[in-house]
Amino acid sequence: MLHIMRTHKFFSYLLIAIIFAISISFVFWGIGPNTSSSSLVIAQIDGEEILVDEFQQAFDKEYKRVREIYTDEEEIKKLNLKENVLRALIDRKVILIAAVKAGITVKDEELQEEIMKLPYFQRDGVFNSDVYVNALKRNRMNPKIFEEEFKNDIIYTKMSRIIRESVELSTEELKTIESLKDSNGRLAEAFFSSKNNQAIRVYADSIKRRFNIRIDRDLIS
How far is the C-alpha of 88 from the C-alpha of 98, rounded, in Å?
15
Please tell me the total count of domains within the chain: 1
pLDDT in tens, 6-15: 444 444 444 4
pLDDT in tens, 64-111: 999 998 888 888 889 999 999 999 999 999 999 999 999 999 999 999
Q: Are 164 and 199 in contact (CB under 8 A)?
A: yes
Read off the pLDDT band of 28 (50, 70, 90): very low
CATH of the domain at 154: 1.10.4030.10
Look at residue 48 and give its three-state secondary structure: strand
Which residue range is the domain that position 99 belongs to? 2-220
How far is the C-alpha of 42 from the C-alpha of 146, rounded, in Å?
21
